[in-house]
């Protein structure tokens, strides 16, 4: 039997506002603005979850964790990621690798990337070297450049 590989692509975006925490990759990052969202608004975890779900044609996070369901209001996205991992494992798949990027003008995220990788690789039950998290700006262009929002992309490779 030939091993089956599946690729998924994930994307998420949230508005930046005052009086909210900035949660990225499962950690709180000091900043004067945070993300507006039904859950904790962790764009990185949300993009990874969408990539995982998409790889297996299981829909998106909005289908599994709708923002109309009060059970998910303010929920820690790490909890949701664990639920998605259960779905992946039930289908008999494992993660080969994840490549992701966070797009934000500020704050500078480089000091936090390894901590994010450690936390998320433990939840995903993969080696830290299977998870890439990068950060970039858009050189003050667009909604991320003007600090109105933050976004993240992820590509995942799964194997059965």
- Domains, the chain, in order of start with CATH, read 5-159 (3.30.1330.50)
The pLDDT mean for the chain works out to 95
Where does the pLDDT of residue 2 fall: very low under 50, low under 70, confident under 90, or very high at 90 and above? low
> Which SS3 state, helix, strand or coil, does residue 6 take?
strand
What average pLDDT does range 74-98 have in this prediction?
A: 96
Kindly report, residue by residue over 54-85, the tens digit of the pLDDT.
999 999 999 999 888 888 888 999 999 999 99
pLDDT of residue 3: 67
Kindly report, residue by residue over 113-154, the tens digit of the pLDDT.
999 999 999 999 999 999 999 999 999 999 999 999 999 999
Strands (DSSP E) found in 25-148: 27-28, 34-35, 94-103, 131-136
> Does the predicted TM-score (pTM) go above 0.85?
yes
Which among 108, 109, 107, 133 is positioned nearest to 120, based on CA atoms?
133
CB 45 within 8 A of CB 80: yes
pLDDT of residue 75: 92
- Annotated binding residues for a divalent metal cation, written as ranges, equal 12, 14, 46
- Annotated binding residues, written as ranges, equal 12-14, 38-39, 46, 60-62, 65-69, 136-139, 143
CB 123 within 8 A of CB 85: yes
**Cα separation of 13 and 147, whole Å?**
12
């Amino acid at each position: 039997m030939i091993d089956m590989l599946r690729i998924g692509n994930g994307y998420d975006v949230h508005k930046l506002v005052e009086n909210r925490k900035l949660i990225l990759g499962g950690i709180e990052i000091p900043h004067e603005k945070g993300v507006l969202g039904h859950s904790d608004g962790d764009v990185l975890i949300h993009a990874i979850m969408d990539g995982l779900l998409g790889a297996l044609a299981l829909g998106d996070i909005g289908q599994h964790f709708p923002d109309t369901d009060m059970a998910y209001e303010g929920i820690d996205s790490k909890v949701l990621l664990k639920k998605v991992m259960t779905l992946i494992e039930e289908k008999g798949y494992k993660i080969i690798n994840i490549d992701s990027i966070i797009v934000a003008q500020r704050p500078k995220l480089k000091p936090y990337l390894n901590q994010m990788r450690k936390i998320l690789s433990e939840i995903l039950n993969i080696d830290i070297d299977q998870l890439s998290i990068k950060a970039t700006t858009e050189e003050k262009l667009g909604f991320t450049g003007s600090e109105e929002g933050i976004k993240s992309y992820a590509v995942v490779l799964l194997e059965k």
